[in-house]
Each structure stands twice: as structure tokens, then as C-alpha cells.
Amino acid sequence: MQGTASEGRGPVRYGPHAPETGLPVPQGPAAVLAGAADVAPGEPPGGGPALREAACRYWQRRGLPSGPAEVVAASGAQPLLFALLGAYDGDVLMPRPCPAWWTPQARLLGRPAYHVPTPAECGGVPDPFALLETVRRVRSEGGRPRLLLLCVPDDPTATVAPPETVREACEAAVGEGLHIISDETWRDTLHRPRDTVLVSPAEMCPGDVTVISDLAGALTPQSWPVAIARFPPGAQGAARRARTLDFLTALGAAVPAPLSAAAAHVLDEPPEVAERAVRAAALHAQVAAAVHRAVLVAGAVSRPPQAGRHLYADLAPLRGRLAERGVGDSMELEEYLSGRLHTSVPGGHRFGDELGALRVRLSTGPLLGTTTDEQLAALASPTPLELPHVERALSNLGSAFDELR
């Protein structure tokens, strides 16, 4: 969150960042970036051949074969989604809660955006029956529902939707003529990859799904804005890709050449990059589990985190104690916890939840340390929760929640 707490309550420009890694930039990708610093020619809109081919190899390893002509890259997930929304037209549906930056994208384009409740077991994917009801209601009111955004490994809930839930939601959407945009930014951050089944909607409905991924999810620092999209095969996908390129060109959202070289490098997942991603995911899994325990001990509610660097907590059971501190909605909860924990704790209103719901997203990155040495120590340690600086950070968080019991 940028700006002061009081300034940042509502405007989009103060909206929260995605959960950061809390780790320093890896040396290998940084060296590739530095080595390409003297490249003078710019990259074309949509990405050059090397970057798009690397993206194809990345998706091929995940069971999503594609060709360079079905892929685009952009300088960040926000301009990429903006271009996709412009290319696909129509009203937008998305789960509640959803990533904080989705709804502003639709609104900036003047598109109606409708939030659909999620099932009890997970976030990121709408309940199929609620989706059908929302589509019918929107049409009865004269709307044109055309797009569904979903996020199987989810921000903000950190859950992974079961394959059967994903299939039911996708079949409902496709049956109603909706195209699906699947945000798979967090697919490489699973906390227990051997025990968690993650299936992309593109595997289930290959002709009706566009996949996007922000490389900052697992492969690059957030300060390196690169995102990729994979379009369905066939004439319709090609037409939408061409329209997306029009938007990216107008936005000037080309990936800078040095960053393109670094992105192609990490997408090929050399051993250093792959090992770092696995270790980082395991580290955040341990810290997230500890945060989850602290939340439950205090009497709040949260689904167990399964991916990412965050979890979503519902403090409604603590409403009475919060009211004593002048906290009655998620804006005030955001301000209170951000001040108490000295880090950004965005409220549920940022993610499409109702203002009166006392929900927040808690990030694990800030708990890993404030210096490079502390962060690298956490990454290297087999028992990071026992490191003094991590233990202190978790103790402070636990105390903040214990005060509300």
C-alpha cells in the first residue's frame, strides 16, 4: 500500500501491491539482465521471438502446448489484462473476493464488473450455481456478460480450487457463452506440490480459455514487470491476440529488451531458478502456516493457505474487541492492523468484499527480514521459524492478534 493510511483508504492509486517475495533478487537472472543492458533496439509489442518461445516451453512443461503465434508478453500484468479486457469486450464477471487490481481494470474501460460468490472450500473460482444466476440476472437487466476472470491458485485467499470445482465453473461459463481468462500467476508457489492437484481451466476447455501469468509470482522480482498470455488455438484466438496487440501497442506496454532477456532466461527455468522457486515456496509455506495458527488461536477464521505468499483472514468473530478499538469495517481494520504491524495489511474491500466484512490479507514476505542477510538466512535455513528475526516478527504478529481475544 502506498501513501499514508488515511490517504490510502479508497483511491485505486493507493491500492495494495501483490504479495512480495521478501527476498533479494537472484544473482543469475540479475546477471542476465545486466548483460543485456547495452541492447539498443526495442522489443516489439507482444514480445520478441526469444521471449515468446521461452513462454511456450514454460507452458509445455505444464501440459499446455502452444506456439509463439499464440503468445504475447507485456510490461506487467495490469496492462496485459487491460488489453485483454479491451480485446474481448462485454461485461466482466469475477469471483468475490478477487485480486485487488481486477475490478479497476474493468472500470477504467467503462465495463460493468459483477462479483460472484465462491464456494465454501476455496476462493478464486465462482460457485457454478451462483455464476449461472448472476449471468441470467445481468442479461435480464440488459447487460452483456462475456468474460469470466478466475484464479485457481488464488489471491487473496491463497487456496487452490479442486479440479471438480474448476470444471463445474468452467462448464457453466462456457455453456453461457463466456470466455474465461485464467490468472495462473501463483501456480508455481504451491505449498505442498506433491499433495495438491492443480488443473488449469485451459486443460478442460482449451478453446475457451486465455491464460495469463505475472512472472513475479514465482520467477522474477516485483520490480521487473513482465507478464505473459497464452491464447486458445484457432482463428478466434488469433483474432483476439491481434486485437490485444493493438491495445498493447497503444499503451506502449512492450517489455524492455534487457528485461526480455532476463524473462526468457527465468522462463527456461535453469537449475538455479527452479531451485530458488522451490525453496522460496517452501519457506513461505512454513511462515504462512505459522501465521495461520496465530490467526486461529486468536479466534479468527481463515482457510489453510495452499499457495502464494499470503493468507486471507476473517476477523468477524473478534468484532466486539475490534469495536473497542474503533474498528467497525474493513477500511478501519486495514488502518488498525497496518499501524499495529508496521506493514501493509489491505482490507477485504480492496478485493471486492463488502465493507462491513472484517477481512484482511496477511503477507508473509515482510516476516522474512529487513536486510538481505536476514532474508537469505531465512531462505537457506531448514528451520526458518527458529531464526531470531523471523521468530520476533511472528511473535509481534501473534501479539497483535492475541490482543483481540
- pLDDT tens profile 308-320: 999 999 999 999 9
Q: So what's the pLDDT on residue 5?
A: 40
Bridge partners, residue 92, by sequence: 113, 147
Residue 125, C-alpha cell as written in the block: 473460482
Residue 367, C-alpha cell as written in the block: 516476516
Closest-CA residue to 348 (of 338, 332, 359, 362):
359
Using alpha carbons only, what angle is made at residue 23 by residues 262 and 18, rounded to the nearest 5 degrees?
80
> What's the pLDDT band for 10 if we cut at 50, 70, 90?
low
Closest-CA residue to 290 (of 168, 384, 400, 157):
384
Virtual CA dihedral for 282, 219, 59, 267, nearest 10 degrees?
Answer: -130
CA atoms within 13 A on the CB side of 342: 7
Please give the average per-residue pLDDT across 78-92, as a whole number: 94
Closest-CA residue to 361 (of 277, 288, 297):
288
> What's the pLDDT band for 361 if we cut at 50, 70, 90?
very high
- Reported pTM: 0.94
Average pLDDT, the chain: 94
> What's the pLDDT band for 175 if we cut at 50, 70, 90?
very high
What phi and psi, each to the nearest 5 degrees, are found at residue 190? -60, 135
pLDDT at 399 > cutoff 50: yes
Please give the average per-residue pLDDT across 21-49, as a whole number: 93
Closest-CA residue to 224 (of 212, 211, 215, 234):
215
Going by C-beta distance under 8 Å and a sequence separation of 6 or more, which residues neighbour residue 220?
A: 29, 226, 262, 263, 266
Residue 12, C-alpha cell as written in the block: 485505486
The better pLDDT of the pair 223, 13 is held by: 223
First to last CA, the chain: 27
User: How many residues appear in the chain?
Assistant: 405
> What's the pLDDT band for 233 if we cut at 50, 70, 90?
very high
Residue 368, C-alpha cell as written in the block: 522474512
